[in-house]
């Protein structure tokens, strides 16, 4: 509307160029926002850099247009330009705290041309307005940076609380809550087409053999130290993409995405071998424990988290019943 008013009042051609550029950038930004939304629904990020570049270009053109309004000498146009600059700067400050450098660029691109125009304007009193602009913009930037700091602290606090909720305090491994979330996500992918998901995965339930004896003989402090060492060995025993969980006491669960039954068997037996190596915990004697493992496979043994955990638990009980320090896969019922 400011460009339309400038065209009517001044009768010059530059307001029409301003309107054409503004409409072009509006169309570009609209298309980019639609593409970002479509990409977000597919799990991507979209052309965010292009969207920010279009926004920066608009701010430069808007600033130059306001400069033209102020230097025209028409007081009504100058006042309208001042109101528009103040409004844009205020809105950018309140809505772009997450991207402070981009917001500061936009505010300066809008306000600096107006500042220069106000100082050069023949309209009475505009030079005084121009001298006030730096103070206004500086104050708004300070508010922007304060809002950014507050948002950053809130996000960090949320992440810290999230870590406390999903991590085991003793070992630092993900806990039962995160296991349920992760397992639900992997099970939901089983329904996806083979090209996008639905890859098989294994669930390994684990239990330490002889851990209670260590706790009873050496105390809980040594037992806690042993659990931390076990967690470290388990992480080294499996692949980088596998996830180790401690779900309580001396119980662990491993999720093996995109794996075959043969590969899962080899990994489970390697974990048993690593845990069977004596631990030196500084108590004057090497501590020996074992590891029993039961497994279930998706989708062969089930497609629901509870069913898969139940199947792997049953296999674990069978492994412990037949001598401990063993690995057993869930035995499927004959059709």
Residues annotated catalytic, as ranges: 250
Please state the separation of Cα 67 from the chain's center in Å. Answer: 41
Could you tell me how many helices (H) and strands (E) the chain has, helices first?
11, 5
The verdict on whether omega for the bond into residue 299 sits within 30 degrees of 0, i.e. cis, is yes
Q: Which tokens is 265 given?
A: 């068997």
126-166 vs 176-189: helix crossing angle, rounded to 10: 100
Whole-number Å distance between alpha carbons of 5 and 269: 79
Which helix (H) or strand (E) covers residue 60, if one does? helix 48-71
Number of residues assigned to the chain: 335
**What is the secondary structure of 212-256 as a DSSP string?**
HHHHHHH-HHHHHHHHHHHHHHHHHHS-TT-EEEEEETTEEEEEE
Whole-angstrom distance, CA of residue 227 vs CA of residue 283: 15
Query: What is the edge-to-edge ordering of all strands in the sheet holding 327-329?
Result: 243-248, 251-257, 201-209, 290-298, 327-329
From CA 304, how far away is CA 299, in angstroms rounded?
9
Please classify residue 113 by burial: count the beta carbons closer than 10 Å to its beta carbon, then call 0-12 exposed, 13-18 middle and 19+ buried: buried
288 and 210 Cβ atoms separated by less than 8 Å: yes
DSSP state for residue 279 in the 8-state scheme: B
CB 290 within 8 A of CB 233: no
Closest CA relative to residue 121, chosen from 64, 67, 83, 63: 67
């Amino acid at each position: 509307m400011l460009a339309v008013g400038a065209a009517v009042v001044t009768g010059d051609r530059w307001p029409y160029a301003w309107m054409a550029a503004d409409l072009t950038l509006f169309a570009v930004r609209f298309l980019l926002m639609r593409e970002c939304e479509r990409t977000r629904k597919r799990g991507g990020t979209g052309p965010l850099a292009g969207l920010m570049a279009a926004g920066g270009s608009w701010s430069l053109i808007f600033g130059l247009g306001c400069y033209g309004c102020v230097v025209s000498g028409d007081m009504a146009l100058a006042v309208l330009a001042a109101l528009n600059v103040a409004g844009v700067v205020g809105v950018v400050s309140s809505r772009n705290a997450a991207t402070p450098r981009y917001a500061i660029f936009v505010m300066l691109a809008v306000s600096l041309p107006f500042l220069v125009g106000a100082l050069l304007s023949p309209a009475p009193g505009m030079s005084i307005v121009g001298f006030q602009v730096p103070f206004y913009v500086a104050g708004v930037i300070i508010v922007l940076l304060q809002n950014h700091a507050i948002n950053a602290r809130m996000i960090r606090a949320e992440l810290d609380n999230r870590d406390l909720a999903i991590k085991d305090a003793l070992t630092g491994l993900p806990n039962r809550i995160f296991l349920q979330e992760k397992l639900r996500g992997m099970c939901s992918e089983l329904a996806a087409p083979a090209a996008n998901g639905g890859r098989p995965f294994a669930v390994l339930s684990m239990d330490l053999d002889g851990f209670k004896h260590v706790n009873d003989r050496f105390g809980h402090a040594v037992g806690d130290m042993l659990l931390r060492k076990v967690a470290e060995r388990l992480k080294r025993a499996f692949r980088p993409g596998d996830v180790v969980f401690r779900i309580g006491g001396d119980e662990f669960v491993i999720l093996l995405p995109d794996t075959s039954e043969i590969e899962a068997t080899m990994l489970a037996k390697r974990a048993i071998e690593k845990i069977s190596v004596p631990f030196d915990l500084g108590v004057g004697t090497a501590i020996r424990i074992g590891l029993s493992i039961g497994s279930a496979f998706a989708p062969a043994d089930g497609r629901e988290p509870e069913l898969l955990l139940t199947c792997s638990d049953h296999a674990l009980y069978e492994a412990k019943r037949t001598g401990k320090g063993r690995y057993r896969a869930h035995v499927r019922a004959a059709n």
